[in-house]
Chains A and B, each alone.
Chain A
Amino acid sequence: MRKLFYIVQKEFIQIFRNKAILPLMTVVPIMQLIVLSFAASNEVRNVQLAIVDQDNSEYSRLITSKIKNSDRFILMDNPPSVKLADGMMQSGNADIILTIPPQFEKNFFKNKTGEIQLLVNAINGQQATVGAAYLAQIIQSFNQEIRLDAVPQLAVMKQFSSPQLRIENSNWYNPDLSYKDFMVPGILGELATLLVMLLTAMNIVREREIGTIEQINVTPIKKWQFILGKMIPFLFIGMFLLTVGMIAGKLIFDIPIVGSLWVIFAYCLLNLTAVLGIGLFISNLADTQQQAMFITFFFAIIFILMCGLFTPIESMPKMAQYFTIPNPIAHFVHVMRSVLLKGSEFSDVAYNFKVTAVLAVVFNSLAILSYRKVS
């Protein structure tokens, strides 16, 4: 046990002596948290719209003004012809073209139908589908209004008419659909795990490069003492980062903390232990820091893209969903969000605790087994 203390002490001295690493471990992640949380927004705003109004009727103007009032769209222009509007889309000045054909109002009264065309630039699929959906919603509600207007009997008959379903949404746990509330906890979890994984991956391999590992290997120190001695300082750094990040998140973004911080920190400890195991395992496999970097990079990309931070895991193909099970960041993001936003208790995230515990055991066993004192 005393030997362990000496290893931990040595690691801490080295970490605090390294003038380059220290700010990388504290300031940079907080900056990332701030920048990413502000910028990495999934919300669709500022959709550029061109409306070709060939009808110029009361109704067509009504639609136009309704759309104008929505803050999601910017009405770029009212080109007189579809051809000109096409040109706008071609040159990137319009994302959606709304065409109101001639005789729109007339047809509506005469035939009880009206047709409107939406042309969507789907290069950015997200923007296109979400934008078009918003637009459709506006037109839909407009439709409801004018139906009553156009066929006055309908208003009278309304109570007798065929039943209609009306959907009322209510957003639980994040009532304002605040994007930041949703992203900050996830990004924080992701940053903490990535940093810890990278630092540990570089650690042992660095000793191998310098040659000190050989000196360690001729001492009677046990594998587990060495590995544990390497883990404790990084566990500490990860927890420290999380604490600072939570405080920053609260002060800057006012993220809600509904659930218990104990659950958060207990889970963080467990999760970082698992991640450390990966880092140390990589460190044992690699011969140079460069190799370690590339292996870490490989895992990091997969972990980030498949952690549910940016794209919901539920909408991934079934196969891909299985791959998220051994991804510690996926569990981290889930636990952070559930506990902070929803107030989940331990029993609600027990599944994540269990899986992460298994991951921690597996990864750390790999780390200890792959650390070879003898060639």
Chain B
Amino acid sequence: MENNAITAIGLTKKFGDFTAVNAITFEVKKGEIFGFLGANGAGKTTAIKMLIGLSRPTNGQATVAGFDVFKQTNRIKENIGYMSQKFSLYEDLTVKQNINFYGGIYGLSRKKIIEKTASIIENLNLRSYANKVVGDLPLGWKQRLSFAVASVHDPKIIFLDEPTGGVDPATRRQFWEMIYEASNNGITIFVTTHYMDEAEYCHRVSIMVDGKIEALGTPRELKERFKVNSMDDVFIQLARG
């Protein structure tokens, strides 16, 4: 348990008669890059929302960063970062103002915010954009800035919900470099994606079908088990049922 960043046992979410997430059980180790795959509507986003405290589970148990998803959502929120498929920085604020705002509401000290602002702008090469409104940035840059802002408070776990949707391959590449760097710094990454090449970058992946986790393992294990050559084929076999 202590080596796990996330532990979920029988985690379930029902909306009326519809079971969006059906008793999923898995664990994510500290420092791991965990790919959370599934077709559209398989229940990935609902599952993430339960883990990050945006949605209350109907049943089951889960701990995130050592805190209970039922009772300690605020402690969880202090220890995680989240980047959703919807772009969530303020387009009418400048790059600096966005960092300042999110740093502020995460309770960072003024000094820390200044440090963080400088290092993010430096790392992302945004010097000439620092005082421009975020709405003027190209999408790829926005996504990378989003990721940086989601980790402004040095969280233990970062949840990424389809972070690279609609982004060109080169930028996706850069994005994954950021993910690896974070992972090397000991941050656990929990990522959903539709790109199977990205699934190959993950340490371990799970594949969700109709609210259940149908397969879980390293990309290599899964390919061997399903006797195919690519994650694409694994996914298609499972998703077709």
Contact = CB atoms under 8 A, between A and B. Distances in A.
Interface of A: 2-3, 5-7, 9-10, 13-14, 17-18, 210-212, 214-221, 373-375
Contacts of B180: none
Contact of A10 (B54, B93, B106): B93
B131 interface: no
Contact of B93 (A5, A7, A13, A215): A13
A229 to B, nearest CB: 9
Contact of A218 (B54, B75, B87, B104): B54
30 contacts: A2-B104, A2-B107, A3-B104, A6-B101, A7-B101, A9-B104, A10-B90, A10-B97, A13-B93, A14-B90, A14-B92, A14-B93, A17-B133, A210-B88, A210-B91, A211-B84, A211-B86, A211-B88, A212-B88, A214-B84, A215-B82, A215-B84, A215-B88, A217-B54, A218-B53, A218-B54, A218-B80, A219-B77, A220-B78, A374-B53
B52 interface: yes
A2 B107 CA distance: 7
Contacts of A214: 54, 84, 86, 88
B55 A219 contact: no
A219 B106 contact: yes
Interface of B: 49, 52-56, 73-75, 77-78, 80, 82, 84, 86-93, 97, 100-102, 104-107, 133
Nearest to B133: A17
Contacts of A212: 88-90
Contacts of A211: 84, 86-88
Given A14-B92, A211-B87, A215-B88, A375 B49 contact: yes
Contacts of A221: 105
Contacts of A18: 92
Nearest to A373: B54
Contact of A374 (B56, B80, B106): B56
Contacts of B55: 374-375
Contact of A13 (B52, B75, B89, B97): B97
A221 B73 CA distance: 11
A7 B105 contact: yes
B31 to A, nearest CB: 21
A244 to B, nearest CB: 25
B22 to A, nearest CB: 18
Contacts of A374: 53-56, 73
Nearest to B80: A218
B84 A3 contact: no
A220 B82 CA distance: 12
A218 B82 contact: yes
A18 B133 CA distance: 12
B116 to A, nearest CB: 14
Given A211-B86, A214-B84, A9 B92 contact: no
B192 to A, nearest CB: 15
